[in-house]
Amino acid sequence: MKLRKAKIADVEEMMSLINNNAEQGLMLPRSRNMLFENIREFMLAEEDGQIVGVSSLHILWSDLAEIRALAVDNNHRRQGIGTKIVKAIEEEALDLGCSRLFALTYQPEFFKSCGYEEVSKDQMPQKVWRECINCIKFPNCDEIAVSRII
Ligand SMILES: CC(C)(COP(=O)(O)OP(=O)(O)OC[C@H]1O[C@@H](n2cnc3c(N)ncnc32)[C@H](O)[C@@H]1OP(=O)(O)O)[C@@H](O)C(=O)NCCC(=O)NCCS
């Protein structure tokens, strides 16, 4: 398994990995447009030419970044791939000079295993909610906020 940055040619495979999980209610769906526009934010895990994991790093402020759209292929779970993607994203955030990461998730136990702690959504800066208006769940967000200083 290798980790690498996403390329434009990966978008269809990324979209099906993310949206298969979204259909099961495990995460929010992503459009092709969103993936193209934000392709430089995405990190992939690839095994034997197949994309088996995906996530993105979205910088929000001088010391605040979000881990978004994390998904590992069904047949490759519990092999440490999600953890490796999170670590790679953390390294990228640190390289950019950002040491506070957060995620909005339905899988707090996974993030806790990576060193994150659950935080009240009310504690998150207002800027975090700017894009929520585009979410299909708005205004009834049921995701859990987790955060870590790296
Ligand atoms: C959450 C997800 C990314 C985890 O990926 P993964 O590669 O299976 O995770 P890892 O193998 O690195 O797991 C590390 C640890 O996290 C915890 N963990 C992982 N998945 C878990 C789950 N479903 N429930 C509880 N704990 C979990 C375990 O402690 C695990 O260690 P263990 O396998 O030794 O017990 C993956 O299950 C997934 O894609 N889920 C669907 C989409 C999703 O929920 N994304 C998160 C949106 S932010």
Residue 136 has pLDDT above 80, yes or no: no
Residue 146 has what pLDDT? Answer: 96
Do the Cβ atoms of 93 and 57 come closer than 8 Å?
A: yes
| 119 CA from centroid of ligand 1 (Å) | 19
Name the more confident of 78 and 122: 78
pLDDT at 96 over 80: yes
Nearest alpha carbon to residue 85 among 34, 26, 18: 18
Give the Å distance between the CA of 80 and the centre of ligand 1.
8
| Per-residue pLDDT, 10 | 98
Amino acid 141: pLDDT: 81
Task: Give the pLDDT confidence score for residue 134 in this predicted structure.
Answer: 72
Q: Which domains can be identified in the chain, with CATH numbers?
A: 2-149 (3.40.630.30)
CB 34 within 8 A of CB 6: no
Question: What pLDDT does 83 receive?
Answer: 98
Q: What is the mean pLDDT of residues 81-98?
A: 98
For the segment 4-8, the average pLDDT, to the nearest whole number, is 98
Kindly list the protein residues whose Cβ atom lies closer than 6 A to any atom of ligand 1: 21, 26-27, 70-72, 77-83, 103, 105-107, 109-110, 113
